[in-house]
Amino acid sequence: MESKYNSRSSDTQDSSEMQSVFKTRPVKMKNFNQHITELYSNMFALFIKEWSDLDKCTVFHTAASCALEVCNRRKNRYQTILPYVHSRVTLEPLSTEGSDYINADFITGHKEREYIATQAPLKETFADFWRMVWQYKCRVIVMLAELVEHEIVKVDRYWPDRLGFTEKYGDIAVRLAFISQRERIIVRKFHLTLGTEKRVVSQYVLEDFKEDCSDVTPSAIVDFIQTVREDLNSGPDSGPAVVHCSAGLGRTGVFIALDYFQQRIAMMSLEDTIDVFAFVLKMRNHRPHMVQNLKQYLFIHDLLNLLIFVKQVILRQIQEMQADINNEHHIQDHNKVLVHVSNKKDVPTTSEGHDHASSETSVPASNKKVDSSSYDEIIRASNKKIADASNKELADASNRGHIATRKEKPVQPAVKKVSTTSRKSI
């Protein structure tokens, strides 16, 4: 298995300690299941070591000084979580002091500024939040926390609470035009108006997505990220996706990583690599503490393993369909030859007087010509096989707690024993 780590750390906070720690750890997709099986072995020893290395390699940059100005302190949901100078989202200034500040950072994905990771808006920042959505032409908002969790307010409702109602946030009018729910996914459509210009913004909410990623099935999160990605890809003028949980760190980092790698898995071959370690570091280079605990880090690996598995199933189905198509073409060519031969006068006959070319037994039963109209059925059958295989794998994953090991149910991660996970998730 190719999982060699390519480059060493050179800009960590303690370079002597990090001389032997690699900052990139690419693994070929075809080897990914084997890779995380090894990480899960020996009571997750290698996973725990990798998480420790991740914390050691994380560089904390200079926070934006404007975040601590008196006029802006109240705009921070958590006073210790502040945007970085080099990556913070700036608003077009108004006449009031500090009006260009919002607690949000740009995150690079497959393109620059593909995401905005931000805290859940406070009542004091509702207008700033919608101003940011408008200024950067954002069409999609992803919400990953409940309004209240464990009797603590995590998100203040920053949208109208009744269908058809409009609320004004600063100069922007926001009307709740549509709401739907499919299982655990809530979709809201907002109509925004500023002056004479109107826009539509979608909000996607994944219910009961807890900080430790428990109580959410693999199928639910895969459905969620694919639904959001379809919307993001539906328009060429889409700005950054706005992603928030409460602080805009843990679950926000999990979603961005899964969306980023979902696209890579779909675009690349199984011979190409994915590097979870390096991408988490990349996110942390733009916003502190992205992906906050070991359980979230394990969850990312498990979901990527599932996505790769589904890709492998799909590729097998495509190969089987291509083989069927090639076989049909071969039979068609063979039948043309037989028809040509049957038209000749010197064709030998059987004892019953039937010529060989017209005899149905001249083509093995297993190679009989398949009518082209049946390929819709082949496609439907193929899709059903993929769905059945995927659902079985999803069920197994839910029962096991992860999908790396095929033979036995693993012990749940002993996260509480890891000193690097003692930081409280918010």
Name the residues annotated as catalytic: 245
Q: Say how far apart CA 206 and CA 145 lie, in whole Å.
A: 8
The residues pairing with 205 across neighbouring beta strands, listed in sequence order, are 143, 186
Which residue from 286, 291, 297, 293 is spatially nearest to 60, judged by alpha carbons? Answer: 286
CB-based contact 260:252 (threshold 8 Å): no
Query: 């439907």: which residue's tokens?
Result: 380
Phi-psi region of 214 (alpha: psi -120 to 50; beta: other; left: phi over 0): beta
CA atoms within 13 A on the CB side of 66: 17
**Tokens matching residue 89:** 């989202």
User: Residue 254 burial by CB count (10 A; 0-12/13-18/19+): exposed, middle or buried?
Assistant: buried
Which residue from 105, 87, 80, 75 is spatially nearest to 256, judged by alpha carbons? Answer: 105
Contacts of 321 (CB under 8 A, 6+ apart): 375, 378, 379, 382
Query: What are the strands, taking DSSP E only, across 51-145?
Result: 88-90, 101-107, 115-118, 140-143
Pairing verdict, β 101-107 and 88-90: antiparallel
Q: Say how far apart CA 6 and CA 139 lie, in whole Å.
A: 37
User: Residue 353 burial by CB count (10 A; 0-12/13-18/19+): exposed, middle or buried?
Assistant: exposed
CB-based contact 253:125 (threshold 8 Å): no
Which residue from 255, 293, 262, 260 is spatially nearest to 278, judged by alpha carbons? Answer: 260
Which residue from 112, 113, 96 is spatially nearest to 104, judged by alpha carbons? Answer: 113
Contacts of 185 (CB under 8 A, 6+ apart): 204, 205, 206, 207, 220, 223, 224, 227
CB-based contact 231:241 (threshold 8 Å): no
Q: Say how far apart CA 107 and CA 3 lie, in whole Å.
A: 26
